[in-house]
Amino acid sequence: MASTVQNQLLYGAQIWAGALRYEVNVSTLLGPQRQIALRVAMAYRTTVSTQAIMVVAGMIPVHLLAKERQKLYNHTKEGKEMNKQDHRVNTYKEWQKECDQAKKGRWTHRLIQDVEKWSTRGFGNTDYHLTQMITGHGCFGSYLYKYKKRLSPECVDCKAVEDSAEHTIFVCDRWWNKRRDLEAKIGGDFEVDSVIKLMLRSRSNWKAVKAFVGEVLRTKEEEERQAQREVLVEAVNH
Ligand SMILES: [Zn+2]
């Protein structure tokens, strides 16, 4: 489905790609692709920025694909030798530049530093929980606080002032022994700056990290549901 929609979006791109110098046209074009990326990444929290979700889904933004198509078309017209691979390498470079400069999605950028390596990995899919870790949008105190589902951004487990994806997954004391087990499995330190590199090293690393993140976030979600129920019961009783 993703590629069908993408092809429809790119229809005639060699002709209209010039219009992409206007930001409004870029956002119009990105809208439908964003919807697909949200599904591919299993991001049910649609608060994630387009920039970040395209990276998580490993989908080159369609405005960059349109420009690539136009360049290919022009090269062929000029009778130059067409090398699709070179064009694709350049497109990844353009995308990387956009990611490096983007104001939104900085947490995702800290984790996924190289969009080409991430997108062309050839194995390992993301799921609901892994996407929460990578976007920072999920069952974390600061996120729940921001969207008014909690009265405080603190960590309910260790009382740290702010519970974020970074705190829960990489820092919180509650999970330290599981984190040590994980490090033994993946053969390296489980840290923000290195976790994706380690995951891309092997299928088994990918699986191990995914399992850890899934277990932690499933537990937190279950406890959050329980806490919400208690709040509700209390409200009814008063
Ligand atoms: Zn904590």
Average pLDDT over every residue of 50-78: 93
Ligand 1 midpoint to CA 234 (Å): 25
Any idea which of 46-60, 68-82, 134-148 has the lowest mean pLDDT?
A: 68-82
Domain for residue 94, yes or no? yes
Domain for residue 172, yes or no? yes
Domain for residue 95, yes or no? yes
pLDDT exceeds cutoff 90 at 149: no
Ligand 1 midpoint to CA 155 (Å): 5
Same domain, 228 and 182: yes
* Calpha distance 137→61 (Å, rounded): 21
pLDDT exceeds cutoff 90 at 192: yes
Domain for residue 120, yes or no? no
Q: Provide the number of structural domains found in the chain.
A: 2
Q: Could you tell me the pLDDT band of residue 121, with boundaries at 50, 70 and 90? A: very high
Same domain, 136 and 79: no
Supply the pLDDT for residue 90: 95
Same domain, 132 and 80: no
Supply the pLDDT for residue 83: 84
Same domain, 93 and 191: no
Ligand 1 midpoint to CA 162 (Å): 8
pLDDT exceeds cutoff 80 at 77: yes
Q: Could you tell me the pLDDT band of residue 213, with boundaries at 50, 70 and 90? A: very high
Any idea which of 92-96, 126-130, 224-228 has the lowest mean pLDDT?
A: 224-228
Same domain, 87 and 152: no
Same domain, 150 and 182: yes
Supply the pLDDT for residue 51: 93
Dihedral sign (CA 105, 52, 94, 13): negative
Tell me, yes or no, if the pTM score tops 0.95. Answer: no
Domain for residue 113, yes or no? no
CA triple 92-51-16, angle to 5 deg: 65
Distances (CA, A) of 89 to 26, 49, 54, 153: 21, 24, 17, 41
Domain span including residue 225: 128-237
Q: In terms of Cα–Cα distance, which of 168, 157, 161, 160 is closest to 134?
A: 168
Same domain, 188 and 225: yes
pLDDT exceeds cutoff 90 at 127: yes
Domain for residue 23, yes or no? yes
pLDDT exceeds cutoff 80 at 81: no
Find the helix packing angle between 2-9 and 23-40, rounded to 10°: 170
Average pLDDT over every residue of 81-86: 82
pLDDT exceeds cutoff 80 at 211: yes
pLDDT tens-digit profile of 7-28? 888 988 988 998 998 888 898 8
Average pLDDT over every residue of 177-191: 97
Ligand 1 midpoint to CA 55 (Å): 28
CA triple 95-99-103, angle to 5 deg: 145
Ligand 1 midpoint to CA 20 (Å): 45
pLDDT exceeds cutoff 90 at 6: no
Overall residue count recorded for the chain in this entry? 238
Same domain, 160 and 223: yes
Ligand 1 midpoint to CA 74 (Å): 55
Supply the pLDDT for residue 206: 98
Same domain, 183 and 149: yes
Same domain, 149 and 207: yes
Domain for residue 123, yes or no? no
Most confident of 11-20, 68-77, 198-207, 229-238: 198-207
Instruction: Show the tokens assigned to 53.
Output: 């979700």
Supply the pLDDT for residue 228: 86
* Calpha distance 153→189 (Å, rounded): 27
Same domain, 133 and 213: yes
Same domain, 134 and 97: no
Domain for residue 215, yes or no? yes
